[in-house]
C-alpha cells in the first residue's frame, strides 16, 4: 500500500503532503530527490555566459535572497564547490524555448540553465519558492536547506498577463512597480495598464496638456461606486493623478528588468469621458462635462467620441504617436468596449459619415473607426488589440481580440485566424466577489478561486496556436487602495498563473490548494494582502417539491467542517455540524449563520444570510453565492 502511494505520487508528481517542494505555477517536470543544498555564507554565485541583462538579474536574485535569508552571496569562481551557477546556454535547448529553464539542486551545488536571461529569471522564481522561510526552521545550521530536485520547466502560453485599471482609482508609479514585483514571482510577463477611462486620464501627452490638466482630476466620493452624487458645477476636483512620461519610462524600464512587457491601453471610442472633458468638441453633443466620480448617470453621459468628426483623428494621432514612442511593446490596446451608440444615431456628423462610407448601421460605424485606428497604429509600427466588441460590424484585418464577454468573441476571432488573448469575465475578472457576498467588500458578480483555477483558455475545436494566452483583469471601481488591489488580485492570480504557465495535464485542484497553503506564509512574509475567501462556506438555496426553501452548505476547499445556527448566535464546533443534507429554516428563523473550521481551528469567516436574501437569489436566476 505504502509502495503504491509513493509510486503514484512520483508518477503524478503532485505535491503530496510529504512533498517538500510546493511551487506555483506547477512546473512541467519536477523530480524531488533526497538531501539538501545548504544555503549559507560560503555559497557563491557564478554566472556562465556574457549578458548585460543577466548581470542585473543576478543582482536582483542576490537582493531577493538577502531579503529572505539575511545571507549575502558573493560572486564566485567557476567550478568552486557550493556554487549557485546561472548558465546562459550557448547551444540552444529547443525543449525549453525562450522562457523555459532547467534547475538542478544537488547537495553540492545548484545549476540553473536557460536559453535566455528571461528563462534564468523564471528559474530563479522557482528556486526562491524552494528557500525555506526564515521562521519555519529553527536550527541555524540547516535553516536554509534547499531540497534537492531536478526541474525542467517552460510556459504553456507566451502571454501571461494582469491588467490594472488606474483610471477609476489612481495608483502611484511606486504601487505599479510593486504590482509588477508581485506578478513576476508567479512568472507573469505582461502588465496591461488601463490608462484612460471615464474617471481619469492618467498618461501625460505632451502635445495635449489639457488631457491631464483637466482629465486627470475629479470630485472626491467615498462609499459604493455607482451610487454617488454627480459632480456639482464648480465643485473642487482634488481626486486623481497621472504619470508623466518620465514616470512611464521609469516603470517601463523597471518592468523590462523583470522581463515584463507593458501593454498600454487608451480606451476609445467609448469610456472616453476624461478626454471629452478636456476637449468637449470631440463628442457628438459637444457639451462640457466633469470627470465622472462613479455616479449613477454614466449611461446618460456622452462619453463616446464623435466618429463623424475628423478632429478626433487629429487628436488620436497625437495621443498614439506619443504612446507608440514611449512603449516598446508591439501591441497597443485601443479599448473598443461598451461604446454607447445612441448619440451616433442622432448626430448629423455621424450620420453623414455613415452615408459617405456606405455603413449600414452604428456597428459598422464603430468597425470603420477601429479599422482606421488599425491603419494609424500600423503606420507607427504597432499592432492593434481591442476588447471583443471590435468584432461587431467587421473585424479590422490584423486585429488581435481580447475576449472578455465570455469566450465566444475569442472563438469567433480564432476561427477567423486572428490572434486572441482570453480574459472571460466570469473566470478572470478580479473585481468580482471571490466568495459569499455577505463576507466580502461590496462589488458585483462572482468569480471564485476555483472558477479561475478550473478555466481553460483554449476552447474545444479552436486551434491553440491562435490563443496567445490570457490575463486576470482588475477593474478598480470598488478598489480604492493598493491594499485592496492586493486582496482582489491574490490568490486568484495564483490560480491564473498556473492556468497560463503549467501544462493542462497537471491541473489538480486539491494539489493546488496544498501548494497554495505553502504560498500564504510567503505572501504574509512579503506583506502582500490576499483573500482567504475560498475557506468560507457557500450557501446554495433550492426549493423542494413542496415549494419550501432549502439551503445546502459546501466549501471550495475540501475537508472543512461547517457549523451553523438559525438562532442568530455565533456558531462554533459545539453547534450542529453540517452533514451534507439540505437544511430547512425552522419556524421563525430569519437567517442562517455559518462558519468553517479545520481540525478544530476556525479557517473561514463567519457570515449570516437572511432567508429573504436566499429567496431573492432563487428568483433572480443569476446568483451571487
Ligand atoms: C470591459 O470589461 N468593459 C472590457
Ligand atoms: Zn457624432
Q: Is the CB of 150 under 6 A from ligand 1?
A: no
pLDDT tens, position by position, 333-348: 999 999 999 999 999 9
| Res 364: pLDDT | 97
**Cα–Cα distance measured from residue 569 to residue 587, given in angstroms and rounded to the nearest whole number:** 16
Q: Is the CB of 337 under 6 A from ligand 1?
A: yes
Q: What is the mean pLDDT of the chain?
A: 94
| Res 297: pLDDT | 65
Percent of the chain surpassing pLDDT 90? 90
- Burial of 257: CB neighbours in 10 Å, binned 0-12, 13-18, 19+: middle
Closest CA to 180 of 482, 384, 402, 398: 482
User: In the predicted model, what is the mean pLDDT of residues 572-582?
Assistant: 98
User: In the predicted model, what is the mean pLDDT of residues 577-601?
Assistant: 98
**Residue 137 corresponds to which cell in the numbers above?**
526552521
Q: Helix count (H) and strand count (E) of the chain?
A: 18, 28
CB atoms within 10 A of CB 536: 28
Closest CA to 411 of 376, 370, 372, 459: 459
**Cα–Cα distance measured from residue 382 to residue 92, given in angstroms and rounded to the nearest whole number:** 29
Which of 209-225 are b and which e, b meaning 16 or more Cβ less than 10 Å from the residue's Cβ? eebbebbbbbbebeeeb
In the annotation, is 197 catalytic?
A: yes
pLDDT band per the 50, 70, 90 thresholds, residue 80: confident
- SS3 breakdown of the chain: % helix, strand, coil, rounded to 5? 35, 25, 40
pLDDT at 15 over 70: no
**Residue 330 corresponds to which cell in the numbers above?**
508591439
| Res 470: pLDDT | 98
* Strands ordered across the beta sheet of 583-584: 537-543, 549-555, 583-584
Q: Out of 26, 32, 182, 197, pick the active-site residue.
A: 197
Residue 475 CA, closest ligand 1 atom number: 2
pLDDT tens, position by position, 511-543: 999 999 999 999 999 999 999 999 999 999 999
pLDDT at 549 over 70: yes
Going from the Cα of 182 to the center of ligand 1, the distance in angstroms, rounded, reads 24
Q: Out of 150, 220, 250, 338, pick the active-site residue.
A: 338
| Res 621: pLDDT | 65
| Res 50: pLDDT | 85
Please compute, for residue 606, the number of CA atoms within 13 A of its CA located in the half-sphere on the CB side.
14
User: In the predicted model, what is the mean pLDDT of residues 362-370?
Assistant: 98
| Res 295: pLDDT | 87
pLDDT at 458 over 60: yes
Question: Which phi and psi (to 5°) does residue 287 adopt?
Answer: -85, 155
pLDDT at 624 over 90: no
In the annotation, is 271 catalytic?
A: yes
Q: Is the CB of 220 under 6 A from ligand 1?
A: no
User: In the predicted model, what is the mean pLDDT of residues 442-446?
Assistant: 94
Residue 468: CB partners within 8 Å, gap ≥ 6?
157, 158, 159, 400, 419, 420, 421
Going from the Cα of 347 to the center of ligand 2, the distance in angstroms, rounded, reads 5
**Cα–Cα distance measured from residue 38 to residue 603, given in angstroms and rounded to the nearest whole number:** 34
DSSP 3-state assignment of 499? helix
H or E element that contains 109: strand 109-114
User: In the predicted model, what is the mean pLDDT of residues 448-477?
Assistant: 97
Going from the Cα of 303 to the center of ligand 2, the distance in angstroms, rounded, reads 11
Residue 293: CB partners within 8 Å, gap ≥ 6?
199, 218, 219, 220, 221, 228, 230, 231, 239
The angle that helices 52-69 and 117-130 make with each other, rounded to 10 degrees, is: 10
Residue 429 CA, closest ligand 1 atom number: 2
**Cα–Cα distance measured from residue 448 to residue 403, given in angstroms and rounded to the nearest whole number:** 19
Given a contact cutoff of 8 angstroms between Cβ atoms, the answer to whether 386 and 399 are in contact is yes
Percent of the chain surpassing pLDDT 70? 95
Residue 404 CA, closest ligand 1 atom number: 4
Which one of 404, 447, 470, 472 would you pick to mutate in the ligand 1 pocket, going by the greatest count of ligand atoms within 8 A of its CB?
404
**Which range among 156-160, 296-300, 321-325, 581-585 shows the weakest confidence by mean pLDDT?**
296-300
**Residue 335 corresponds to which cell in the numbers above?**
479599448
Please compute, for residue 83, the number of CA atoms within 13 A of its CA located in the half-sphere on the CB side.
16
Alpha-carbon 270 to chain mean position = 23
| Res 18: pLDDT | 76
| Res 7: pLDDT | 43
Q: Where are the alpha helices (DSSP H) in 492-582?
A: 492-501, 509-525
Q: Is the CB of 338 under 6 A from ligand 1?
A: yes
Q: Is the CB of 235 under 6 A from ligand 1?
A: no
pLDDT band per the 50, 70, 90 thresholds, residue 301: low
Which one of 474, 475, 476, 477 would you pick to mutate in the ligand 1 pocket, going by the greatest count of ligand atoms within 8 A of its CB?
475
Which ligand is closest in space to the CA of residue 347?
A: 2
User: In the predicted model, what is the mean pLDDT of residues 432-450?
Assistant: 96
Which ligand is closest in space to the CA of residue 349?
A: 2
Q: Are strands 383-387 and 400-403 parallel, antiparallel or unpaired?
A: parallel
pLDDT at 138 over 70: no
Given a contact cutoff of 8 angstroms between Cβ atoms, the answer to whether 596 and 535 are in contact is yes
| Res 140: pLDDT | 73
Given a contact cutoff of 8 angstroms between Cβ atoms, the answer to whether 541 and 614 are in contact is yes
Q: Are strands 190-194 and 159-165 parallel, antiparallel or unpaired?
A: parallel
In the annotation, is 460 catalytic?
A: no
Residue 271 CA, closest ligand 1 atom number: 3
pLDDT tens, position by position, 233-261: 999 999 999 999 999 999 999 999 999 99
Question: Which phi and psi (to 5°) does residue 467 adopt?
Answer: -90, 105
Q: Are strands 444-446 and 432-433 parallel, antiparallel or unpaired?
A: parallel
Model-level pTM?
0.96
**Cα–Cα distance measured from residue 309 to residue 121, given in angstroms and rounded to the nearest whole number:** 48
CB atoms within 10 A of CB 345: 13
Specify the residue with its C-alpha closest to ligand 1, atom 3.
337
Going from the Cα of 350 to the center of ligand 2, the distance in angstroms, rounded, reads 4
User: In the predicted model, what is the mean pLDDT of residues 593-613?
Assistant: 98
Which ligand is closest in space to the CA of residue 350?
A: 2
**Cα–Cα distance measured from residue 27 to residue 568, given in angstroms and rounded to the nearest whole number:** 47
Please work out, in degrees rounded to the nearest 5, the angle formed at the alpha carbon of residue 122 by the alpha carbons of 246 and 476: 50
Going from the Cα of 312 to the center of ligand 2, the distance in angstroms, rounded, reads 10
Going from the Cα of 423 to the center of ligand 1, the distance in angstroms, rounded, reads 10
Specify the residue with its C-alpha closest to ligand 1, atom 2.
404
**Residue 449 corresponds to which cell in the numbers above?**
478561486
Strand partners, 165: 194
Going from the Cα of 506 to the center of ligand 1, the distance in angstroms, rounded, reads 30
**Residue 111 corresponds to which cell in the numbers above?**
545549476
Which ligand is closest in space to the CA of residue 167?
A: 1
Q: Is the CB of 193 under 6 A from ligand 1?
A: no
**Residue 112 corresponds to which cell in the numbers above?**
540553473
DSSP 3-state assignment of 411? helix
Q: Is the CB of 191 under 6 A from ligand 1?
A: no
pLDDT band per the 50, 70, 90 thresholds, residue 75: confident
Going from the Cα of 10 to the center of ligand 1, the distance in angstroms, rounded, reads 43
Alpha-carbon 263 to chain mean position = 13
Q: Is the CB of 404 under 6 A from ligand 1?
A: yes
Which ligand is closest in space to the CA of residue 168?
A: 1
Specify the residue with its C-alpha closest to ligand 1, atom 1.
337
| Res 142: pLDDT | 73
Q: Is the CB of 607 under 6 A from ligand 1?
A: no
pLDDT tens, position by position, 374-403: 999 999 999 999 999 999 999 999 999 999
Q: Out of 192, 194, 271, 333, pick the active-site residue.
A: 271
Given a contact cutoff of 8 angstroms between Cβ atoms, the answer to whether 87 and 49 are in contact is yes
DSSP 3-state assignment of 11? helix
H or E element that contains 484: helix 482-489
Q: Is the CB of 122 under 6 A from ligand 1?
A: no
Amino acid at each position: 500500500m505504502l509502495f503504491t502511494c509513493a509510486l503514484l505520487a512520483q508518477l503524478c508528481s503532485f505535491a503530496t503532503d510529504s512533498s517538500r517542494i510546493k511551487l506555483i505555477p506547477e512546473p512541467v517536470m519536477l523530480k524531488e530527490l533526497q538531501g539538501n543544498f545548504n544555503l549559507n555564507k560560503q555559497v557563491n554565485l557564478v554566472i556562465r555566459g556574457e549578458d548585460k541583462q543577466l548581470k542585473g538579474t543576478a543582482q536582483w536574485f542576490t537582493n531577493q535572497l538577502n531579503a529572505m535569508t539575511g545571507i549575502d552571496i558573493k560572486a564566485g569562481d567557476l567550478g568552486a564547490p557550493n556554487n549557485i551557477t546561472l548558465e546562459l546556454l550557448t547551444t540552444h535547448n529547443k525543449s525549453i524555448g525562450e522562457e523555459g529553464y532547467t534547475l538542478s539542486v544537488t547537495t553540492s551545488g545548484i545549476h540553473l540553465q536557460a536559453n535566455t536571461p528571461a528563462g534564468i529569471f523564471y528559474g530563479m522564481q522557482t528556486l526562491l519558492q524552494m528557500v525555506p522561510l526564515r521562521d519555519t526552521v529553527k536550527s541555524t545550521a540547516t535553516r536554509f536547506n534547499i531540497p534537492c530536485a531536478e526541474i525542467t520547466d517552460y510556459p504553456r502560453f507566451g502571454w501571461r498577463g494582469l491588467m490594472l485599471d488606474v483610471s477609476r482609482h489612481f495608483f502611484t508609479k511606486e504601487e505599479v512597480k510593486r504590482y509588477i514585483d508581485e506578478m513576476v514571482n508567479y512568472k507573469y510577463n505582461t502588465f496591461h495598464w488601463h490608462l484612460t477611462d471615464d474617471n481619469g486620464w492618467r498618461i501625460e501627452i505632451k502635445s495635449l496638456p489639457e488631457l491631464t490638466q483637466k482629465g486627470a482630476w475629479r470630485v472626491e466620493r467615498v462609499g459604493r461606486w455607482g451610487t454617488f452624487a454627480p459632480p456639482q458645477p464648480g465643485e473642487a476636483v482634488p481626486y486623481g493623478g497621472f504619470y508623466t512620461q518620465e514616470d512611464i519610462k521609469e516603470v517601463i524600464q523597471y518592468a523590462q528588468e523583470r522581463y515584463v512587457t507593458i501593454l498600454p491601453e487608451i480606451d476609445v471610442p467609448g469610456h472616453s469621458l476624461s478626454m471629452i472633458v478636456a476637449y468637449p468638441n470631440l463628442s457628438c453633443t459637444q457639451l462640457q462635462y466633469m470627470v465622472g466620480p462613479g455616479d449613477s448617470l454614466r449611461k446618460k453621459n456622452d462619453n463616446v467620441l464623435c466618429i463623424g468628426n475628423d478632429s478626433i483623428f487629429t487628436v488620436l494621432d497625437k495621443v498614439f504617436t506619443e504612446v507608440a514612442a514611449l512603449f516598446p511593446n508591439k501591441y497597443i490596446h485601443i479599448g473598443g468596449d461598451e461604446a454607447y451608440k445612441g448619440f451616433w444615431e442622432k448626430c448629423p456628423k455621424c450620420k453623414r459619415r455613415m452615408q459617405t462610407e456606405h455603413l449600414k448601421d452604428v456597428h459598422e460605424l464603430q468597425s470603420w473607426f477601429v479599422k482606421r485606428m488599425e491603419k494609424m497604429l500600423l503606420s507607427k509600427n504597432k499592432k492593434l488589440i481591442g476588447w471583443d466588441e471590435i468584432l461587431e460590424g467587421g473585424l479590422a484585418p490584423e486585429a488581435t481580440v481580447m475576449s472578455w464577454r465570455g469566450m465566444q468573441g475569442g472563438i469567433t476571432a480564432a476561427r477567423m485566424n486572428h490572434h486572441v488573448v482570453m480574459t472571460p469575465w466570469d473566470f478572470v475578472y478580479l473585481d468580482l466577489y471571490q466568495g459569499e457576498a455577505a463576507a466580502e467588500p461590496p462589488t458585483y458578480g462572482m468569480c471564485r478561486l476555483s472558477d479561475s483555477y478550473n478555466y481553460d483558455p483554449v476552447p474545444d475545436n479552436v486551434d491553440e496556436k491562435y490563443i496567445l494566452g490570457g490575463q486576470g483583469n482588475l477593474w478598480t471601481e470598488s478598489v480604492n487602495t493598493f491594499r485592496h488591489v492586493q486582496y482582489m488580485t491574490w490568490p486568484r492570480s495564483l490560480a491564473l498563473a498556473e492556468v497560463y504557465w503549467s501544462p493542462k495535464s497537471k491541473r489538480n485542484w486539491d494539489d493546488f490548494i496544498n501548494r497554495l497553503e505553502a504560498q500564504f506564509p510567503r505572501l504574509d512574509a512579503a506583506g502582500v494582502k490576499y483573500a482567504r475567501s475560498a475557506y468560507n462556506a457557500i450557501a446554495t438555496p433550492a426549493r423542494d417539491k413542496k415549494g419550501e426553501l432549502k439551503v445546502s452548505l459546501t466549501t471550495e476547499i475540501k475537508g472543512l467542517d461547517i457549523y451553523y445556527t438559525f438562532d442568530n448566535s455565533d456558531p462554533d464546533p459545539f453547534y450542529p455540524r453540517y452533514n451534507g443534507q439540505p437544511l430547512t429554516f425552522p419556524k421563525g428563523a430569519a437567517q442562517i449563520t455559518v462558519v468553517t473550521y479545520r481540525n478544530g481551528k476556525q479557517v473561514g469567516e463567519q457570515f449570516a444570510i437572511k432567508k429573504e436574501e436566499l429567496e431573492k437569489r432563487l428568483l433572480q436566476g443569476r446568483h451571487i453565492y
